[in-house]
Amino acid sequence: MKPNKFVNLIAGLATAFALPLILLIIIPFVRQSDSVPIHYPEGQEVEGGVAAYPDATLYRFGSSDFGAQVYAAEGCAYCHTQVIRPTYAGPDMWRPGWGGREEEGLARETQPLDYTLEEIAPLGYQRIGQDLSNVGHRITTRELMHQHLLNPKEIDPDSGMPAYKHLYQMSPFGKGWEPTAKAEALVDYLLSLKKDQPLPEVAGTKG
C-alpha cells in the first residue's frame, strides 16, 4: 500500500487519542499531583485549632493507611461510595448525616481537597450501601463500628451488608468475637472518615 495512507491513518488515530489524553487526563493529573493541604487563613475559626485542611494529625491517625488497604482489598468501594454530590446532581445533601454535621451547619458536598492525603480516592462504583464520606460522624464509637462489621443485621434487620466474620476470631476464653489487626485498622480508617471540615477561605480554592 502507499505509505502515505498508512502514515495518515496512524497519525489520525494518534491525534484522536492524544487530544483527550493530554487535555482530559494528563493536565488535570499534573495539576492535582501538586495539591497539598491548605492552611487556614488568620481569622478563620476552626475547631481543634488545626492549621491546615486536610490535617493528617487530627483526622487520619493510627493505622488508618493499613485500614484503607483493608477497605480496598475487601472491595468495600464496590458497594459504598465516598461522594456527596451537590444538590443539582442528586439529593445526597438531604439524607440525614450524609453531608456531615447538619446541626452545626457543617454539612457540605465533597471537594477535591477532601481526598488530598489519600493515595486513591475510593469514590466507589455502586451505592448498594450507605455513602461513607462522613461515617465517622454517624458512628462514633469503636464498639458500634465493630458491631456494624461483625453483625450488621443486629443494627438494621434490612441491611444488605454481609457480616465480615473473617476479620474477627473467636476468643479462646469464650468472650465472643475478637477483632484481628485488620478489623482494628479498618475501624480506625472508618472512624477517620469526616469530610465536612470547613474549607480554608483562600481565594481560588472554591469550586
User: Interface residues for other proteins in 26-55 (CB under 8 A)?
Assistant: 28-29, 32-33, 35
Which residue lies nearer to other proteins by CB, 43 or 89?
89
Query: Which parts of 48-159 fold into alpha helices (H)?
Result: 56-59, 64-73, 135-138, 142-150, 152-155
Among 11, 39, 94, 206, binds other proteins (CB under 8 A): 94
Among 11, 56, 153, 181, binds other proteins (CB under 8 A): 153
Buried b / exposed e across 115-141, counting CB within 10 Å, b at 16+? bbeeeeebebeeeebbbbbbbbbbbee
Among 95, 105, 171, 202, binds other proteins (CB under 8 A): 95
Which residue lies nearer to other proteins by CB, 43 or 90?
90
Please state, in angstroms and rounded to a whole number, the distance separating the CA atoms of residues 165 and 206.
42
Consecutive H or E run containing 169: strand 168-170
In the complex, least distance from residue 70 CB atom to other proteins, rounded to whole angstroms:
9
Residue 11's SS3 state is helix
Q: Which stretch binds other proteins (CB under 8 A): 41-49, 139-147, 161-169, 183-191?
A: 161-169
19: contact with other proteins by CB under 8 A: yes
119: contact with other proteins by CB under 8 A: yes
Please state, in angstroms and rounded to a whole number, the distance separating the CA atoms of residues 63 and 188.
7
